[in-house]
């Protein structure tokens, strides 16, 4: 009880959040924190391309409309990703080869923030000392400690997270990435100097405003930001299902090492 | 990490356990689950803010006790204290070398040796407590036919023809100990519990799989959704978490199981450092009766690091390309001797 009061007092002492209209005050958990528990999903085409994009053919002509890239308004504020010149060239090259090089095709872990806008739900499970985010895609998972875990001991796909509350907003500072994941299927990428700051702000009982600030001095000239709503999966008995996609990628990864049928 | 040895490491664990029955005393006090008394009067069950018994944190279920009782211990459920102590002294670090190459695998080097794992000590001679002989019950005739068909199918192909020739563990799809039921892994046998209102989530380090278990009494998934790890539903019975899992696939193949596998697990935190874990396995199309096992998990230092198994699976690629290289060399040798 005393601990809860002390924590509440501490969170009120933090500087106020950015000037957005925050009239909604989230429901509280039993230990007095904003309640982000639940199953959430983005409803946009950011996973295809985080910038504005028109309808376009997909990788398989035979699938026609069913395999097409849907149109979408981008999630990047200002719609501009400030690449350094050499990095801009690399992005173009990634885009030209996206149907073979996108790590999603190999069922590789999606990294952050891409995990938040994959076309799969994810679940937030709020404990007292840590917040877990479990993603349906490839069983990706992150545990976010709410007390300082220190610097990242090693690189990883999903990064090294540290969480804190700023008012009703969960702020997650993520470092310790490797350079392997992409931000989308369009070839937007980063180096292992990537630093992401996520903000999860409840904006109504069934929606969260999700913002992610991207910083990577090896790739971008300045930090940039994306934002989107996350929608609660309100179906009765909604649950994450098993999307173990490794088997689906094996032909692509190991096919050339398969024993050839004897002549 | 050379995952190519992973498949044989599981076998090695069993072989080593059978050979030496090495049981390690962690805290100077041998504990078997039969001897787990009611918690000391000064310890009370911690609770989450929404009133669940608090299991949260990182726990190790490493064990050297084998699942099944070795023939040498037939009729004996427990070792003596002296046998346990002798086994501890006899425990040697595991190294493995490949004759004629420079390849070696030193488990100690990366903290992967069972000597280095925190684990509950136990005088049990097997994890299985029922049937009383400590062995998995016999297969049904139907299951024997299934196993024979699988063995026959395997004969049609070589052990390294393609990725499907290898185990689910080696392919980084599912580790043998993930289950459910959850069994000790050769190394990094760590489990994290996370609890929120209405849910318990169980994260296993290998292979970063999370079972998210609803506690609201909802029914299982319908019969047409099958999952490698099944579909789990939980409830609290007093301070014991009971988890019921169905909807397995027929490729899960836990010790020969079919898609009718049904697992019931029970978790009870018995003191600050220990969770007692019991599980019952049944599948009337596989075993003639159900069977039950138990082991303890001990609190260990977190966090659990990312186990990006598939992303770093050089072992599988190396195994397959090595087999292709051996075939090519054999072909060329045959050509040369044929001339």
Mean pLDDT computed over B304-330: 97
Report the alpha-carbon distance of residue B206 to residue B9 in Å, rounded: 14
Q: What is the pLDDT of residue B107?
A: 77
B218 in contact with A, Cβ within 8 Å: yes
Closest partner CB to B311 (pick from A29, A109, A240):
A109
What are the tens digits of pLDDT across the range B255-293? 999 999 999 999 999 999 999 999 999 999 999 999 999
Cα nearest neighbour of A138 on chain B: B209
Closest partner CB to A108 (pick from B195, B311, B320):
B311
Contact between residue A27 and residue A205 where contact means Cβ atoms under 8 Å apart: yes
Per-residue pLDDT band for B29 (boundaries 50, 70, 90) equals: very low
The minimum CA-CA distance between B79 and chain A, rounded to whole Å, is 40
pLDDT at A256 over 90: yes
Give the mutation candidate from A104, A175, A244 for the B interface (greatest B CB count, under 10 A): A244
Q: What is the pLDDT of residue B154?
A: 87
> Ranked by mean pLDDT, which of A225-239, B28-42, B117-131 comes out on top?
A225-239
Per-residue pLDDT band for B104 (boundaries 50, 70, 90) equals: confident
Contact map slice: B 289-318 vs A, CB within 8 A = 303-306, 308, 310-311, 316-317
**Residue carrying structure tokens 């545990």:** A143
Closest partner CB to B197 (pick from A37, A149, A239):
A37
DSSP state of A79: G
pTM of the model: 0.88
What are the tens digits of pLDDT across the range A191-233? 999 999 999 999 999 999 999 999 999 999 999 999 999 999 9
Q: Which residues pair with B327 in a beta bridge?
A: none
The two tokens of residue B305 are 């690091």
Contact between residue A228 and residue A249 where contact means Cβ atoms under 8 Å apart: no
Tell me what ipTM this predicted complex has: 0.90
Mean pLDDT computed over A90-101: 97
Mean pLDDT computed over B104-111: 77
Closest partner CB to A156 (pick from B56, B306, B323):
B306
Mean pLDDT computed over A1-30: 59
**Residue carrying structure tokens 């009880």:** A1
In chain A, residues with a C-beta closer than 8 Å to the C-beta of B327 are 259
Closest partner CB to A29 (pick from B197, B304, B310):
B197
pLDDT at B230 over 80: yes
Helix (H, G, I), strand (E, B) or coil at B336: helix
Judged by CB atoms closer than 8 Å, whether chains meet at A157 and B160 is answered as no
Interface size, chain A vs chain B, as Cβ–Cβ contacts under 8 Å = 120
Give the mutation candidate from B49, B59, B169, B334 for the A interface (greatest A CB count, under 10 A): B49
Contact between residue B37 and residue B276 where contact means Cβ atoms under 8 Å apart: no
> Ranked by mean pLDDT, which of A12-21, B58-67, B275-284 comes out on top?
B275-284
Ramachandran assignment for A79, one of left (phi > 0), alpha (psi -120 to 50 degrees), beta (any other): left
pLDDT at A49 over 80: yes
Q: What is the pLDDT of residue B105?
A: 73
pLDDT at A261 over 90: no
- Please give the CATH number for the structural domain made up of A28-257: 2.40.128.20
Mean pLDDT computed over A155-176: 98
B103 in contact with A, Cβ within 8 Å: no
Contact between residue A187 and residue A98 where contact means Cβ atoms under 8 Å apart: yes
Report the alpha-carbon distance of residue B252 to residue B262 in Å, rounded: 12
Judged by CB atoms closer than 8 Å, whether chains meet at A259 and B324 is answered as yes
């Amino acid at each position: 009880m005393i601990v809860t009061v002390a924590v509440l007092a501490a969170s009120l002492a933090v500087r106020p959040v950015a000037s957005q209209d925050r009239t909604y005050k989230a429901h509280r958990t039993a230990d007095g924190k904003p309640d982000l528990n639940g199953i959430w999903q983005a409803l946009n085409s950011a996973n295809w391309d985080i910038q504005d994009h028109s309808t376009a053919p997909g990788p398989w002509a035979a699938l026609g409309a069913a395999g097409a890239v849907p149109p979408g308004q981008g999630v990047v504020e200002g719609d501009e990703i400030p690449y350094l010149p050499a990095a801009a060239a690399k992005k173009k090259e990634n885009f030209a080869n996206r149907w073979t090089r996108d790590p999603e095709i190999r069922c590789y872990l999606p990294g952050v923030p891409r995990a938040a806008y994959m076309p799969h739900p994810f679940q937030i499970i709020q404990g007292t000392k840590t917040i877990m985010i479990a993603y349906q895609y490839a069983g990706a998972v992150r545990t976010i400690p709410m007390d300082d875990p220190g610097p990242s001991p090693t690189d990883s796909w999903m990064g090294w997270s540290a969480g804190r509350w700023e008012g009703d907003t969960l702020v997650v500072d993520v470092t310790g990435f490797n350079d392997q994941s992409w931000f989308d299927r369009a070839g937007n990428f980063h180096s292992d100097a990537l630093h992401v700051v996520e903000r999860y702000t409840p904006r109504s009982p069934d929606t969260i405003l999700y913002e992610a600030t991207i910083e990577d001095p090896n790739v971008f000239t300045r930090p940039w930001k994306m934002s989107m709503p996350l929608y609660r999966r309100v179906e009765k008995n909604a649950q994450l299902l098993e999307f173990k996609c490794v088997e689906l990628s094996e032909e692509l990864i190991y096919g050339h090492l398969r024993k050839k049928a004897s002549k | 990490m050379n995952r190519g040895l992973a498949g044989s490491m599981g076998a090695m664990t069993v072989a080593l356990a059978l050979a030496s029955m090495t049981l390690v005393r962690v805290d100077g006090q041998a504990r078997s689950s039969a001897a787990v008394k009611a918690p000391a009067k000064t310890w009370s069950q911690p609770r989450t803010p929404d009133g669940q018994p608090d299991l949260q944190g990182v726990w190790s279920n490493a064990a050297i006790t084998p699942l099944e009782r070795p023939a040498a211990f037939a009729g004996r459920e427990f070792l003596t204290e002296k046998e346990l102590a002798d086994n501890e002294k006899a425990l040697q670090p595991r190294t493995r070398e490949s004759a004629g190459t420079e390849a070696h695998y030193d488990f100690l080097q990366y903290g992967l040796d069972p000597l280095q794992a925190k684990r509950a000590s136990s005088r049990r001679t097997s994890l299985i407590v029922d049937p009383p002989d400590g062995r998995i019950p016999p297969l049904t005739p139907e299951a024997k036919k299934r196993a024979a068909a699988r063995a026959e199918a395997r004969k049609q192909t070589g052990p390294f023809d393609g990725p499907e020739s290898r185990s689910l563990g080696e392919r980084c799809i599912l580790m043998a100990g993930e289950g459910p039921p959850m069994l000790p892994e050769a190394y990094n046998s760590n489990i994290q519990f996370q609890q929120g209102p209405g849910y318990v989530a169980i994260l296993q380090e290998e292979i970063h799989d999370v079972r998210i278990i609803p506690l609201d009494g909802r029914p299982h998934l319908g019969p047409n959704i099958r999952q490698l790890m099944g579909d789990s539903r939980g409830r609290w019975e007093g301070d014991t978490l009971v988890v019921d899992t169905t909807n397995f696939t027929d490729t899960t193949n836990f010790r020969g199981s079919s898609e009718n596998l049904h697992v019931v697990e029970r978790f009870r935190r018995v003191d600050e450092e220990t969770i007692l874990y019991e599980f019952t396995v049944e599948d009337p199309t596989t075993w003639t009766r159900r069977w039950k096992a138990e082991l303890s998990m001990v609190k260990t230092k977190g966090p659990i690091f990312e186990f990006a198994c598939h992303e770093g699976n050089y072992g599988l690629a190396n195994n397959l390309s090595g087999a292709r290289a051996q075939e090519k060399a054999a072909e060329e040798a045959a050509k040369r001797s044929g001339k």
